[in-house]
Amino acid sequence: MKLPWQSKLVLLLVLPFAGVGVVLNIPWWAAQSPQVAVWTVGLSLLLAIVVVKLRAATPTAAATGAVITASLMFSTIVFPYQPWHTALIPVLAVFLLAHVATRLGRAQKERLGIAERRRGRLASQVAANLGVAALVSGEVAQTWFAHTLALHRATLAPMALFAVALAALSEAAADTVSSEVGQVMGGRPRMITTLRAVEPGVDGGISLVGTLAGVAAAGIVSLTGTLALRGDFSMFWISCAGGLFGLVFDSYLGATLERWGWINNDAVNFLSTASAAAFALALLALFSH
């Protein structure tokens, strides 16, 4: 792995924050509403077990995903409580889309030398894709967002701020799906900065088929997240727009900073999901009233 210190930095930025939040939330919810603690911890652990059994991630990566999933679920609790009306659903959508796309045309990807490791994703990869959503869903970030938007005289519907985190999740799914589908079905990709033809798997290469698949993935995650959180149309389109912005930004980073050797893929994914969240926040500020 190139520049391993950047992958460790991503983990350091995400895991302690999400982990501390989960550790503090478990006893509090166990005292206030035990079903919340039981369902959140239980479903997060179940998802981790399934991921390991499917060899979609290493045990350490699955545990990292479980912590992030629990953190997101705790951040999106509404009453009457139902676990399927939390961030669990869009996280599950991201996993399913990424898993199917990664398995698509695996033999061809192996011949090209661009297939994902058979042991699955690493902890840093999970943190890079899902970590921003957890960071922006925390109480501190949500309070700051609400204050910032209040300065713009924005009036928000309940759970509207989760559009920021949902945009990051949408970008994570869109990036993985566009890359994996484009490598086997997109033909000869072109560099986003020059439009010159490049080999499949080259950083910054895009294809029409892959891009359309990424757009569809972003839409699916935004839709499932909006429905799960009982959001309105603005949550859907803002999160989807943020995800698509991040998808383009991801390709641009790949074509420039990653190809120049300045940042690695984990850093690209983390920054791309962060850009998706930032774009969604800007849209909230502009269009909420």
CB contact burial 100-128 (16+ within 10 A = b; e otherwise): ebbebbeeebeeeebbbeeebbbbbbbbb
Computed over its alpha carbons, how large is the radius of gyration of the chain?
A: 18
- Element (DSSP H or E) covering residue 205: strand 205-206
Average pLDDT over residues 133-141: 90
Q: What average pLDDT does range 8-30 have in this prediction?
A: 96
Domain span including residue 159: 4-287
- Compute the average pLDDT of residues 41-52: 97
pLDDT category of residue 110 using cuts at 50, 70 and 90? low
Listed residue (137, 68, 57) closest to 98, CA to CA: 57
The confidence band for 239, taking pLDDT boundaries of 50, 70 and 90, is very high
Q: What's the rounded mean pLDDT across residues 245-270?
A: 96
- Average pLDDT score, the chain: 91
pLDDT score recorded for residue 109: 66
Helices 123-137 and 88-103 cross at an angle (nearest 10°) of 150
pTM for this entry:
0.94
For 265, which DSSP code? H
Mean pLDDT within 97-122 = 76
| pLDDT at residue 152, as a whole number | 57
Total structural domains in the chain? 1
DSSP helix/strand/coil, 121: strand
Ranges of H-type helices in 104-232: 106-112, 123-137, 139-151, 162-185, 208-228
